[in-house]
Amino acid sequence: MIVSVEGLVVNAVNMGVSDKMLTIITRQYGRMAVYARGGRQISSKLMTGSLKFAYGDYVINKTEKTNILQEANAKLTFFGLHKDLCASALADYIAEVVSDVVMDEEPDEPTLDLALNCLYVLSEGKRAPEDVKTVFELRMTERLGVYPDLSGCCKCGRSDKPWYYLDIMNGELRCSDCKPDAAPQNEADEGTAKIIVIMTGAEVYAARRVLSAEKSKMFSLPTDKNVRERLGAVSEKYLLNHLEKNYKTLDFYKEISKL
């Protein structure tokens, strides 16, 4: 069956002398593994569309066993990512997370759009990579349906405290007066580790804004560098614990960002 799709190449693995195996996040079919015959050849019409982070229109021969790329028309290549090693490393992390989250045959346009927005901002240098990372991680928790309830303390409802405890696995805030108990509250909690982090009121407010903002405003983070750094540490811990996975691409990004 010949299908026309729109998608983002999140991984490209060289095969043989001139071919590639692509992972494309498509609007119509979710994640697809696609074989690009001749995709590495400069003279090939598939070459540009087979680059990692290329976004465009693809014509694919979709079969039960193999998906073969027939045509590729790249609309965006996010060229700026290849000029900044830190941005490129973060883009690899974003691509890997998205590839894990989006499933085969399960379209997930909001996640695709989130990745595209983050890659565009990175490529154009519109925001610092660490800020893009924070926004991506927070918004991804929303896509996964595990985003924290930051409206106020889950016990007393107060939202004007200077600092809070965030229960990462339950996504709940406790204010300084309603400190969470370390011991399990019921049998269902037995054996479940509690992961608690402290957040200031400024960090909670900033995270709340990122999660509720329109796409055009979701990258608006506080000017206070310390708040942004602490929020970035929380967003990372929150997402990775819910994905139950560590990423070598993230480790590499962190190494590069220190240089």
Per-residue pLDDT of the chain (259 residues), as tens digits, is 999 999 999 999 999 999 999 999 999 999 999 999 999 999 999 999 999 999 999 999 998 889 999 999 999 999 999 899 999 999 999 999 999 999 999 999 999 999 999 999 999 999 999 999 999 999 999 999 999 999 999 999 999 999 999 999 999 999 989 987 654 444 444 445 689 999 999 999 999 999 999 998 999 999 999 999 999 999 999 999 999 999 999 999 999 998 8
What tokens does 36 get?
A: 């690009």
What DSSP string runs through 49-102?
GGSTT-EEEEEEEE-SS-EEEEEEEEEE--GGGGG-HHHHHHHHHHHHHHHHHS
On whether the CB atoms of residues 134 and 210 are closer than 8 A, the answer is: yes
Nearest-angstrom CA–CA distance, 201 and 131: 19
Which pLDDT does position 184 carry in this prediction?
40
Which domains are present in the chain?
Answer: 2-77 (2.40.50.140), 145-229 (no CATH)
Which pLDDT does position 176 carry in this prediction?
87
Apex 52 CA angle, 141 and 234, nearest 5: 25
The neighbour count for residue 25, using CB atoms within 10 Å, is: 28
Residues in the chain: 259
Instruction: Determine which helix (DSSP H) or strand (DSSP E) holds 196, and give its type and residue range.
Output: strand 196-200
Long-range pairs for 192-197 at CB < 8 Å and ≥24 separation? 193/169, 194/167, 194/169, 195/167, 195/168, 195/169, 195/237, 195/241, 196/165, 196/166, 196/167, 196/168, 197/165, 197/166, 197/168, 197/234, 197/237
The neighbour count for residue 55, using CB atoms within 10 Å, is: 22
Nearest-angstrom CA–CA distance, 157 and 168: 18
Single out the residue of 100, 92, 116, 80 nearest to residue 256, CA to CA. 92
